[in-house]
Structure 1
Amino acid sequence: MTARAAHFVQTSTDTFLPTSNARSRWGPDHLNGPALVGLAARTIEDQFGLEEFMPARLTVDLFKAARGVSTTVRARLVRDGRRVRNSECELVQDGAVVAKATLVQYRRSSAPPGEEWSAIMELPTPPDVDETSPLRVGSDDAGWSPKIADHRNSSRKRFLNRAIDVVEGVRNTPLVNAAYSAEGTSLVTNLGTAGIGYINGDLTVALARLPVDEWIYLQADSHWTSDGISVGAATLYDRVGAFGTGLITAVSNPQAQIDFSDDTPVAESI
């Protein structure tokens, strides 16, 4: 049986060693955002998640470029309330914090009376899904394909993602899969005719519910830029419908522009 791909190998209770799957294209020996976001989400949920509470908001601040070295996780429960639980996690490399995550959980309950407004939007899906390929990119101008290079245009972007495991030998939870996929908000909002020249410094993913399976879609909702700063938002959806929102802020980094001219598959992107 072929071993499942993973971003990290756990070497002790709170220490993880990145694999080649965690590498980023932003620079030599850099780690990619989904790997870091996934590890933070897994850690904080594993230590402080409760079945009766919904993980409603995860925010991850990416302080500095993480490298392919041993990574230690530190987590703590900030508040254990009756209806709200707050916890946080730090990812540490060589004594420096490279990322910090906060998770807000709300106790599940029944909805209040009345009807509310809800956005009505088209949520496109590819005509077929190849089970052997975990990712597909789509755009209004080019349809769906497995190559980012096909979508270097100025139209609206979306992608279909099935996350690989964050830690070797441990299947991702629905929260980890959602966080991993939501990190692609930077891709679907910042990808343009010359590739990507903005690098995101954070991710916030807000969830009304958890995804129903491993296949998660992400579609750009808004993208605003000025003075080298980018703000992007995207909708997460699955085969049932929309269930959350991803939000990122990013800063221009043209010296490390990724143009995707080599036709790199999505699975080996950023």
Structure 2
Amino acid sequence: MTVRPAHFVHTAADTFLPTANALSRWGAGQLNGPALVGLAARTVEEQFGLEEFMPARLTVDLFKAAHSVPTVATTRLIRDGRRVRNSECELLQDGVAVARATLVQYRRSSAPRGEEWSATMDLPLPADVDDSSYVRVGSDDGGWSPNISDHRNSSRKRFLNRAIDVVEGSVNTPLVNAVYAAEGTSLVANLGTAGIGYINGDLTVALARLPVDEWIYVQADSHWVADGISTGAATLYDRTGAFGTGVITAISNPAAQLDFADEGALAGSL
């Protein structure tokens, strides 16, 4: 039986050991963003998620670079309300917090009366997605391809990120897949003609519903920069349409800029 790839191995009640799949390109031994936000989402949902509540917002603050060492995940229920539940997860390495996630859940109910405005936009899908597909990067100028290096341009970006399992032996939930993919908001917002020179310090994922399958797309909506600070927002969508928004803030990191000039880097490895 083939072992499915994963970012972490669950070694104790609250401890996870990163695998090679969790490594980042930002520095030797550093972990990538999707692995961290995925672990935080999985942990807080596993502890406090309820079927009758929709996980409407997850915000992850990435305090410092995380490394390939045992990672402890702690959780806390902040508020257990009738219509709103708030909880958090903290990831610690060597006793120091490297990330903290807060989850807001709303009780599912019927919609109010009336009609509201909703944005209309093109949501492109690549033609060659199948069970072997994990990443497709797209841009207005470059079409779709498996490689980031094909999209070092200044046009609008989008990508498909089909998550591998966050924890070995545990298949991702729809929430975990959505959060994992949404971490690519930094990629689609900040990728330019010289690669990526910003590193995001947070991620907020706002969801109206959960994705219908594993194939989740992220398309840039906005990108504003000044004084070495970047903000970006993106629409999350699946084969049936848009279902949420990703938002990031990022800080200039030119000393470790990833230019992708000579490699076909996968988006999930940033």
Aligned to 1:244: 244
Residues 87-236 of structure 1 aligned to structure 2 (within 5 Å):
87-236=87-236
Quick one: which amino acid aligns to residue 218 of structure 1? V
Distance in 2 of aligned mates of 1:123 and 1:99 = 32
Aligned to 2:74: 74
Identity of matched residues, %:
79
Distance in 2 of aligned mates of 1:11 and 1:161 = 27
Deviation at 1:130, TM superposition (A): 3.8
Count matched residues. 270
Deviation at 1:127, TM superposition (A): 1.7
Q: Is the 8 A contact 1:138 1:144 kept in 2?
A: yes
Which structure 1 segments of 5+ residues have no match?
none
Which TM-score applies when normalising by structure 2?
0.99
Match status 1:9 vs 2:9: yes
Quick one: which amino acid aligns to residue 222 of structure 1? S
Quick one: which amino acid aligns to residue 48 of structure 1? F
Runs of 4+ residues deviating >4 angstroms: none
Aligned to 1:260: 260
Q: Is the 8 A contact 2:57 2:207 kept in 1?
A: yes
Distance in 2 of aligned mates of 1:125 and 1:218 = 11
Which TM-score applies when normalising by structure 1?
0.99
Partner SS state of residue 51, structure 1: coil
Quick one: which amino acid aligns to residue 35 of structure 1? A
Partner SS state of residue 38, structure 1: helix
Aligned to 1:19: 19
Distance in 1 of aligned mates of 2:21 and 2:222 = 29
Distance in 2 of aligned mates of 1:77 and 1:269 = 31
Deviation at 1:264, TM superposition (A): 2.5
Partner SS state of residue 90, structure 1: strand
Deviation at 1:128, TM superposition (A): 2.0
**CA RMSD, 1 decimal:** 0.8
Distance in 2 of aligned mates of 1:157 and 1:96 = 35
Q: Is the 8 A contact 2:184 2:267 kept in 1?
A: no
